[in-house]
Structure formats: structure tokens, C-alpha cells
Copies of this chain bind each other. A is one copy, B any other.
Amino acid sequence: MVFWKRFFNPDSTSSPSLGPTGAEEFPTDDSDKGRIFFTTDRDIDLYELEELCDAVGWARRPIRKVKKAVECSFLVVTMWEVRGNRRRLVGFARATSDHAFNATVWDVVIHPSLQSKGLGKALMQYIIRKLRHYDISNITLFADPQVVDFYRRLGFVLDPEGIKGMFWYPD
């Protein structure tokens, strides 16, 4: 809880304009909205994450497995809307990796109330920057048809040199 304690503590030495250590503010001029922060901190209420996934209509998954996946992902990025002393989880994404060459991004979600404001793009750019910091150069993902163009605009390439994404599911 270090991250949020520091955030809400008026005696904090963190600069309010920069937000708490490790978090990054998304600049917004919409005064109706709170301030938006990204962080790689894994201090997540899994039920709040479930609510966020419910809001975009994803099928529910066992909390026990979500906990394991969050713990064992190489990178977890969350996006928070902060108003006064309240915070709300409004975005999430994570990546698996071999910590060296490859990463695969999973579970990219932005709350419907905040979509189409550039936050998805900012979240992905934040992830790419973090993965590049670890010198990972092959960043991959599996895109649903309706978001292929979104990822294309971020510089993701479809089937480069004929390389195809393939899936195996149990019977």
C-alpha cells in the first residue's frame, strides 16, 4: 500500500505535479474527470479488477487464477482515476515474458466511461516503454478483429513475413 499511502498523505515528499513515485500522470484538461495515473505497482484489489472486466463484458475467471496470473506476469500496468482521496481502477494490462527477448501483452482493458480519450493508446505506449527499458524488443499480442487497427496505429504489425498467431485449446 506504499504507493497509495504516499499519494494521499499530505505530508508526502512526492511532488503533487508528478504524482507518487513510480506512477505517471496522464495529462487531461477535462475538469469533470479526476486525475489519471499509470503505475506498475501490483497493489490491486482483485474484485475491483473483476468489476472492471465485467464492465467491458469479459467472461468471469476464477479469482484464484487471476491472482496467480497477476503475480506471475512480467509486467502489470494499472490505470487509476483519482478524485480527492478516492481512487478507481479504470485500466489494466499485463505482459508475460522471458525477461530477455519476447513479451506478450494480455488483458488490455479501459473502463467504457473513459474510452475514446486516448487512454488506451497512452496505456500501450507506457507498456512498450517499460518493456523497452528491459531491452525486450519483440513485443507481441493477439488482437481481436475490432482492435487490429488500434494496435496498427501504435506500430504493431500484422503477420510480419507471414508469421501467424496460432492457438491450441483443450477439447
B-contacting residues of A (Cβ < 8 Å)? 61, 65-66, 68-69, 71-74, 94, 96-102, 104, 106, 128, 132, 135, 137-145, 148, 151-152, 154-170
Contact = CB atoms under 8 A, between A and B. Distances in A.
Sorted nearest first, the 7 A-B pairs with minimum C-beta distance are A165-B165, A145-B162, A69-B100, A72-B99, A156-B166, A69-B98, A139-B168
A157 B169 contact: yes
Contacts of A100: 65-66, 68-69, 72
B99 A68 contact: yes
Count of identical protomers in the assembly: 2
A166 B140 CA distance: 6
Given A155-B168, A165-B166, 11 more contacts: A65-B101, A68-B98, A69-B99, A102-B106, A104-B104, A137-B170, A140-B165, A142-B163, A145-B161, A157-B168, A163-B167
B162 A166 contact: no
Contacts of A142: 140, 163-166
Nearest to A67: B100
B164 A145 contact: yes
